[in-house]
């Protein structure tokens, strides 16, 4: 029988064709095929592998060699310390989106009670991170894709957050329109599609509805800002994730709809301006502009 060590060596060799880190990927595929953790794998490299498991590992490697992203091959991916189910119905949660979570957590105190809103929740990654970090809030999460919401539902259940994260199918803030008339959210976060249409082809494995932001990438964000102006009460902190080079354009779109808003821009760990933040509503005559973080005001 083949040993784990032999199978690992073979997977590493094959994965070199598609992976920048074939050693790590081989281990992750093996742990998935064998149903064990990485420490368990490493502690028993001389163990024999059941032929059915060998075949499964090889099938997973075949999928990877076809170009399928590793998270879809594994069926799960980690975000903000949570292991989330991911399928091709949802965007693979990205590390830079942790910047969006952190921006929102800065304005939601640890003991806060009330509502946070996650628009375009996908796998539920941001909603789960917020609900996990702030144990007394509830999160209303919307998405246009019923298939994405089904995945979010599973992830929410996985972490026992069913009672605290409510899912709404529909367009941006529209499903919450009535609720927002009586309830002022602690924060609204949105990681919406922002990839210019012409650049979506290279991300072919992920759902177009999660990526395609129209010709300049900002079409969905503009519609969101229109709804934010029309539906959100004053003085709600709003945070939008944006793509490389989009922070200036999105800030201008915000100012067009919220002329007195003080707009902040927060960079991700790679130093890329990633999250545009502002407060809804207008500055009262003579009072200083409301600001989320004066040091970052653009």
The residues binding ligand SAM (CB under 6 A) are 90-91, 93, 97, 120-123, 125-126, 142-145, 148, 171-172, 191-193, 209-210, 220
Alpha helices (H) along 162-202: 179-182
Which residue number, 31 or 155, has a Cβ lying nearer to ligand SAM? 155
Question: Smallest distance, Å, CB 10 to ligand SAM?
Answer: 33
Give the SS3 label for residue 196: coil
Which residue number, 4 or 98, has a Cβ lying nearer to ligand SAM? 98
The total of other beta-carbon atoms located within 10 Å of residue 6's CB is 15
Which residue number, 31 or 145, has a Cβ lying nearer to ligand SAM? 145
Question: Smallest distance, Å, CB 209 to ligand SAM?
Answer: 4
CB 221 within 8 A of CB 192: yes
Question: Smallest distance, Å, CB 89 to ligand SAM?
Answer: 8
Residue 79, class by beta-carbon neighbours within 10 Å (0-12 exposed, 13-18 middle, 19+ buried)? Answer: buried
Which residue number, 142 or 246, has a Cβ lying nearer to ligand SAM? 142
Which residue number, 11 or 116, has a Cβ lying nearer to ligand SAM? 116
Question: Smallest distance, Å, CB 294 to ligand SAM?
Answer: 27
Question: Smallest distance, Å, CB 270 to ligand SAM?
Answer: 17
Q: Nearest 5°: CA angle at 230, between 229 and 236?
A: 50
Burial 206-243 (b: 16+ CB within 10 A, else e): bbebbbbbbeebbbbbbbbbebbeebbeeebbbbbbbb
């Amino acid at each position: 029988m083949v040993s784990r060590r032999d199978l690992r060596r073979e997977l590493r060799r094959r994965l070199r064709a598609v992976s920048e880190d074939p050693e790590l990927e081989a281990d992750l595929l093996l742990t998935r095929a064998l149903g064990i953790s990485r420490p368990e794998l490493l502690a028993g490299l001389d163990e024999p592998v059941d032929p059915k498991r060998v075949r499964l590992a090889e099938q997973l490697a075949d999928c990877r060699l076809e170009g399928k992203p590793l998270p879809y091959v594994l069926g799960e991916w980690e975000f903000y310390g949570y292991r989330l189910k991911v399928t091709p119905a949802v965007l693979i949660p990205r590390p830079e989106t942790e910047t969006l979570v952190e921006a929102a957590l800065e304005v939601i105190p640890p003991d806060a009670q009330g509502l946070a809103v996650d628009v375009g929740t996908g796998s539920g990654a941001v909603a789960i991170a917020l609900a996990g970090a702030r144990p007394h809030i509830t999160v209303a999460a919307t998405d246009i894709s019923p298939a994405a919401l089904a995945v979010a539902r599973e992830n929410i259940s996985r972490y026992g957050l069913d009672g605290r994260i409510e899912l709404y199918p529909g367009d941006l803030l529209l499903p919450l329109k009535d609720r927002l008339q009586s309830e002022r959210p602690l924060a609204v976060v949105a990681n919406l599609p922002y990839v210019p249409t012409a650049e979506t082809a290279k991300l072919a494995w992920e759902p177009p509805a999660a990526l395609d932001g129209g010709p300049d990438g900002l079409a969905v964000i503009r519609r969101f800002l229109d709804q934010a102006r029309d539906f959100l009460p004053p003085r709600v902190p709003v945070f939008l994730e944006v793509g490389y080079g989009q922070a200036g354009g999105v800030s201008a779109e915000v100012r067009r709809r919220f002329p007195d808003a003080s707009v902040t821009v927060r960079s991700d760990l790679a130093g890329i301006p990633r999250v545009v933040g502002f407060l809804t509503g207008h500055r009262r005559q003579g009072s200083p502009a409301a600001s989320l973080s004066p040091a970052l005001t653009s």
